Amino acid sequence: MELTSSLLSPRRPTRRITLGGVPIGDGAPITVQSMTTTKTADVDGTLAQIYALASAGADIVRCTCNEEAAAEGLAHIVPRSPVPIVADIHFHHEMALAALEAGVQGLRLNPGNLRKEAEIKQVAQEAKDRGVPIRVGVNAGSLHPDLYKRFGGATPEALVESARMEIAYFAEVGFEDVKISVKASSVPLMIEAYRLASETFDHPLHLGVTEAGPPPAGLVKGTAGIATLLAEGIGDTIRYSLTADPVEEARAGRQLLEAMGLRERKGLDLIACPSCGRAEIDVIGVAKAAQEALESRHLPIQVAVMGCVVNGPGEAREADLGIAAGRRRGHLFIKGKIVRVVPEDDMVGALVEEAEKLVAEGIEARLAAADSGAEAEAEADRRALFDAQGADVNDTAHKVDLIRKTVHDEGPKPES
């Protein structure tokens, strides 16, 4: 676990449930979920998407079960899936019972759509008998009309009350294997609803901003809500709800947890400078090419692409591996130490080659294998560029002078 996780608020204690062998709550690693967009009756197409989601970092995948053909599809999908499957149920309790017959490892029920007490209890009893957990999936957009009227809208209190009522039905049949979500498309509403839910329940919480929309705005909204709560120690499992290929949801969820130090790194973390007056290359272009070349290899390392050799290796010294450009050459560095100097056209290829060796052999071995003259060559390039460009290549001193002049000229005048 990375140091960053220890700098966040401690995880709030919740009960432990197990979904198809995946632990959730009570300090278990925060899990990533997504949902297929295929017709569940299309077994091969759905399985292909499930495998893609698992490869992108999804620990659990949800499939719709809205008709008999979908339930039959689940019977074929569940035993071939690489991750546990949750059946998404909205209006028909018969579909929940059919999904349980198909062998799903979890159910998601929407209290706003499945409202008959007897039917809810019947599903809970069957899930209890089979040891299958249920997510109470409250959604601001489908809140029960009575609650909407009672609370004057889809308020945090209304969302939490909806979950409480559903859990009360479950309790009457002795079913407690529950996790809860109180999603909204409004980020502030979602955050406050989950804060209230964390104070109200000890069940695991599934985080998400529903109907966040397409990237990049959807990613921003999802991250704003999910990351805020995770930083406060709230949340046991997450899902980005994007209008996009669901693989993007799984990838975003995994990357968020890795960035926050809440899951061990599984894939690439590529960082790059935003470019400046010292940049010797098209930083955006090289970073994109490096991302594309490295991402498919699933290497669990942090890689830096820097635009200049003057500041690059020092600024990115914490990266496992990086490359900086200067004088039509690339300076390859590991943990800030130059190990090779390569032609500019070979920068991406050299980066990929070294990344694979680094993962296979380890940092110490690759530092020991550094080219003997690399640091001297790099220092010569750095010094030549510094001499040619000067210390203030971005003309910062001039900007500072203008700022000071503006402040003094336009500032408050003394009273006469």
Rounded distance between C-alpha atoms, residue 385 and residue 390, angstroms: 8
216 cis-preceded (ω within 30 degrees of 0)? yes
Question: Are the C-beta atoms of residues 158 and 227 closer than 8 Å to each other?
Answer: no
Find how far residue 353's CA is from the centre of its chain.
27
Predicted confidence (pLDDT) at residue 86 exceeds the cutoff of 60: yes
Percent of the chain with pLDDT over 90: 62
Percent of the chain with pLDDT over 70: 94
CB neighbour list of residue 57: distance below 8 Å, 6 or more residues apart: 32, 250, 251, 253, 254, 255, 266, 267
pLDDT digits (tens, 9 = 90+) for 200-228: 999 999 999 999 999 999 999 999 999 99
Bridge partners (DSSP) listed for residue 207: 238
- Please compute the mean of the pLDDT values over residues 255-275 and round it to a whole number: 83
Mean of all residue pLDDT scores within the chain: 89
Predicted confidence (pLDDT) at residue 189 exceeds the cutoff of 50: yes
Q: In 3D, which of 69, 31, 21, 79 has the Cα closest to residue 53?
A: 31
Bridge partners (DSSP) listed for residue 60: 33
Instruction: Tell me the pLDDT band of 230, cut-offs 50, 70 and 90.
Output: very high
303: which 2 tokens? 């890689």
Bridge partners (DSSP) listed for residue 342: 330
CB neighbour list of residue 186: distance below 8 Å, 6 or more residues apart: 140
- Predicted pLDDT of residue 245: 94
- Please compute the mean of the pLDDT values over residues 145-170 and round it to a whole number: 95
- Predicted pLDDT of residue 3: 45
Query: Which pTM was predicted?
Result: 0.77
Question: Strand locations in 95-205, DSSP E?
Answer: 106-109, 134-139, 178-183
**Which of 68-106 are b and which e, b meaning 16 or more Cβ less than 10 Å from the residue's Cβ?**
eebbbbbebbbeebebbbbbbbbeebebbbbbbebbbbb
Element (H, E) at 6: helix 3-6
- Nearest-10 Cα torsion for 367, 370, 376, 378: -80
Question: Are the C-beta atoms of residues 314 and 336 closer than 8 Å to each other?
Answer: yes
- Please compute the mean of the pLDDT values over residues 82-86 and round it to a whole number: 93
- Please compute the mean of the pLDDT values over residues 134-155 and round it to a whole number: 93
- Predicted pLDDT of residue 272: 79
Predicted confidence (pLDDT) at residue 2 exceeds the cutoff of 50: no
Comparing 56-65, 114-123, 399-408, which segment has the lowest mean pLDDT? 399-408
pLDDT digits (tens, 9 = 90+) for 360-413: 999 999 999 999 999 998 898 888 888 888 888 777 677 667 757 765 775 555
Question: Are the C-beta atoms of residues 66 and 95 closer than 8 Å to each other?
Answer: yes
- Highest mean pLDDT (candidates 81-85, 282-286, 298-302, 412-416): 81-85
Higher pLDDT, 85 or 51: 85
- Predicted pLDDT of residue 80: 84
pLDDT digits (tens, 9 = 90+) for 16-29: 999 999 999 999 99
Rounded distance between C-alpha atoms, residue 139 and residue 93, angstroms: 18
- Predicted pLDDT of residue 162: 96
Higher pLDDT, 296 or 154: 154
Instruction: Tell me the pLDDT band of 314, cut-offs 50, 70 and 90.
Output: confident
Instruction: Tell me the pLDDT band of 415, cut-offs 50, 70 and 90.
Output: low
- Nearest-10 Cα torsion for 391, 395, 401, 404: -110
Question: Are the C-beta atoms of residues 238 and 205 closer than 8 Å to each other?
Answer: no
Rounded distance between C-alpha atoms, residue 101 and residue 99, angstroms: 5
Q: What angle do CA 65, 66, 71 make, to 5 degrees?
A: 45
Cα atoms in the Cβ-side hemisphere of radius 13 Å centred on 258: 18
Predicted confidence (pLDDT) at residue 271 exceeds the cutoff of 60: yes
